[in-house]
Structure 1
Amino acid sequence: MTAIRHIVFDIGKVLIHYDPNLPYQRIIPDPEERAWFFANICTHDWNLEQDRGRSWAEAEELLVARHPEREAEIRAFRTHWREMVPHAYEGSVAIFKALIEQGQDVTMLTNFAADTFREAQEIFPFLTLPRGVTVSGEQRLIKPDVAIYEAHAQAFGLTPAATLFIDDAPANVEGARSAGWQAVAFTDAETLRADLARYGFTV
């Protein structure tokens, strides 16, 4: 196994919490109606296109044209986005900061809309600490497309085999491995600490 020289973090559900239900518990109080709304209108796939670089204006107009009676609820997704990221995960953030303080080469690779990522950096200043970040909305590529891992490695001069990727989504972990990286699935801080120890990092 090649020694790790670069550590790359995902962000959502690894360093910060993300849950669209949080503002919508108030906007659409009925749980069945809310589940239907996310399954049929503001779906995961719809939101993923903003991560791929589609503007919120275009995304909203697309849905409002199809569901004019739901305009207020559709536009609420972007308006109340900050409520969807209520806190950071203290345990994993402590590990993240410790690695940086040790002088390890830490970067980030995230599926995130470009504008909401900049807001996330305002809310969570630790997201400005690493050497750099690849944001899918700026690249117009999303994980687990191998091309985004390759773009990140090229942008930051990473040796793929010497790169360790940390992500909560199994598909994204496999995408990294397909790009020649080493990778671990994030579940919680203690598991991550143990995973890093196996690669020779004490945090």
Structure 2
Amino acid sequence: MSGASIVVFDIGNVLIEWNPEAWFDRRIGPERRRAMFAEVDLHGMNDRVDLGEGFRDIIYATAEAHPAWRDEVRLWHDHWIELASPAIPRSVRLLRALRAKGVPVHALTNFGIDSFAVAQRHYDFLGEFDHAHVSGHMGVIKPDPAIFEMTERAAGASGATFLFADDRPDNVEAAAARGWRTHLFESPDGWAERLVAEGLLTEDEAL
């Protein structure tokens, strides 16, 4: 039986696919996409949104600062829900199976204030957490240790109480440094196996 009593999901690439490069490859072609990403720090731009700055404001300001790529950069905002898609169905089922058993389920995610609100309108399961710890509201992003400390304070728990799944090794390492139980998410199948191994779900419940 697991020592964990709170299961914490990252969202991007755990519950929702997040691969802007692949989306832009389809939209403008791989060669132009590589050139744009080399010239414009789009992930740095997105970090500013995730830290709580204005979703449209930051992206449109970045577009204006790079006029050669203005229209393409604006797509990050104007077609954002297409970038943050599709949902990962088995992960959603695992979230709901845990909640059906009464296991507290939290989110800990790098997400902007406005972009998370858009995502919640599009994906109903993002409203089903017992608590969503969203970086934009917290003013800090993973893997900063402060975000894990803030999550502990909000949950009134610490250490091995948490079982945390994230697709980025640096985030997993930062959580482990605080004593959290962790899982490097590589597929929903592996996450399901971990939840069964921890005794939080049966094999049937984790289908």
Q: So what's the TM-score if we normalise by structure 2? A: 0.89
Query: 1:7 aligns to what?
Result: 7
Matches within 5 A, 1:182-201: 182-201=181-200
Query: 2:119 aligns to what?
Result: 120
| Residues 2 and 162 in structure 1, CA contact (< 8 A), matched pair in contact too | no
- Identity among equivalent pairs (%): 36
| Residues 23 and 80 in structure 1, CA contact (< 8 A), matched pair in contact too | no
Amino acid at match of 1:13: N
Matches within 5 A, 1:21-170: 21=21, 23-25=23-25, 27-28=27-28, 30-56=29-55, 57-65=57-65, 67-170=66-169
Alpha-carbon shift at residue 100 of structure 1 (Å): 0.5
| Residues 22 and 83 in structure 1, CA contact (< 8 A), matched pair in contact too | no
Amino acid at match of 2:10: D
Cα distance in 1 between the residues matched to 2:160 and 2:26: 46
Alpha-carbon shift at residue 124 of structure 1 (Å): 0.8
* Cα gap change, 1:192 to 1:26, in 2 (>3 Å): closer
Alpha-carbon shift at residue 75 of structure 1 (Å): 1.5
In the TM superposition, structure 1's runs of 4+ consecutive aligned residues that sit over 4 Å from their partners are none
Alpha-carbon shift at residue 64 of structure 1 (Å): 1.7
Q: Which runs of 5+ in 2 are unaligned?
A: none
Alpha-carbon shift at residue 59 of structure 1 (Å): 4.2
Alpha-carbon shift at residue 46 of structure 1 (Å): 2.3
Q: Which runs of 5+ in 1 are unaligned?
A: none
Cα distance in 1 between the residues matched to 2:188 and 2:31: 33
Alpha-carbon shift at residue 40 of structure 1 (Å): 2.1
| Residues 7 and 165 in structure 1, CA contact (< 8 A), matched pair in contact too | yes
Cα distance in 1 between the residues matched to 2:190 and 2:69: 42
| Residues 186 and 192 in structure 1, CA contact (< 8 A), matched pair in contact too | yes
43-52 vs 75-84, greater mean Cα deviation: 43-52
Q: So what's the TM-score if we normalise by structure 1? A: 0.91
Amino acid at match of 2:148: Y
SS in 2 for 1:4: coil
* Alignment size in residue pairs: 201
| Residues 108 and 134 in structure 1, CA contact (< 8 A), matched pair in contact too | yes
Alpha-carbon shift at residue 58 of structure 1 (Å): 3.3
Alpha-carbon shift at residue 200 of structure 1 (Å): 1.6
